[in-house]
Amino acid sequence: MANEGILEREVDFPGKACTLSAYVAEPQDGSAALPAVIVVQEWWGLNDHIRDVARRLAREGYLAVAPDLYSRQGHKVANDPNTAAQLMGGLKQADGIEDLKTTAAWIRNQKRTRSSKMGIIGFCMGGSYALLLPCESKELSAAAPFYGEIPPDTKIRELSCPVFYAYDTNDGWINRSDVDRLQKALREFGKQGEVKLYPGCSHGFFNDTRPDVYNAEAARDAWQQVLQLLSANLKG
């Protein structure tokens, strides 16, 4: 069974505006403390692909928590771009950050993760949050944003952990000039991080449920980069 050795559960916990929902996956064996990773959704919502990413992380020894950032909008999941755009447009950035901080606090209150390090990974919309949150919080020890928006340099200056940023050169959403700015800012501000370009790939190339954009070779490479980042900064 693909999920053998993994514990999966849906949880609810109080947020400032509403009850937040999240999907949790963790290794089944042992009671030792676990490093944790927040998994941030694409604009589609908390769907099966994001749950699968959480399960992959659980198989690598992490407690993975994927919060539903559309909890404020009734826990909706989109199957078409128009609906996804409406849902993403209905999520204020400040509210998304607030709910992610609440998620981090919930993780800190769990017995297996109370004293452990925490990372974050996100894709598309989630990639934007996965880069912005460590600029606004000191909770995180590693961040792996995929093709997300680049915050202003004033935010990047406050980046509090090592970063691996994955970018596709055929991206129709994120400007290459912003990605170049991120590379420059990391150097100028003395931040530990890598920006890796994947030539010929399109926005969403990691999502193996979307044959229109999925690139297996690039996705495998990016995943290995993520695992190296997390292992070096969360398991040490």
pLDDT over 70 for what percent of the chain?
Answer: 98
Q: Report whether pLDDT(1) > 50.
A: no
Work out the number of other CB atoms within 10 angstroms of the CB of residue 37.
28
- Domains located in the chain, CATH noted: 6-234 (3.40.50.1820)
What predicted TM-score, i.e. pTM, was given to this entire model?
0.97
Among 124, 135, 161, 201, the active-site one is: 124
Distance (Å, rounded) from C-alpha 41 to C-alpha 63? 16
Q: Which residues contact 28 (CB under 8 A, 6 or more apart)?
A: 5, 6, 7
Active site residue 171: yes
Please tell me the distance from the alpha carbon of residue 214 to that of residue 139, in angstroms, as a whole number.
32
User: What local confidence, expressed as pLDDT, does residue 4 receive?
Assistant: 77
Give me the residue label for tokens 């771009």: 81
In the chain the first and final C-alpha atoms are separated, in Å, by 30
Residue of 99, 135, 171, 201 with catalytic role: 171
Q: What is the pLDDT of residues 51-98, one digit of tens each?
A: 999 999 999 999 999 999 999 999 999 999 999 999 999 999 999 999
* Residue 144 and residue 234 in contact, taking contact as beta carbons nearer than 8 Å: no
Type of residue found at 210: R
* Whether 234 contacts 35, CB under 8 Å: yes
Least Cα distance to 78 among 93, 68, 67 occurs for: 68
Q: How far apart are CA 24 and CA 7, in angstroms?
A: 8
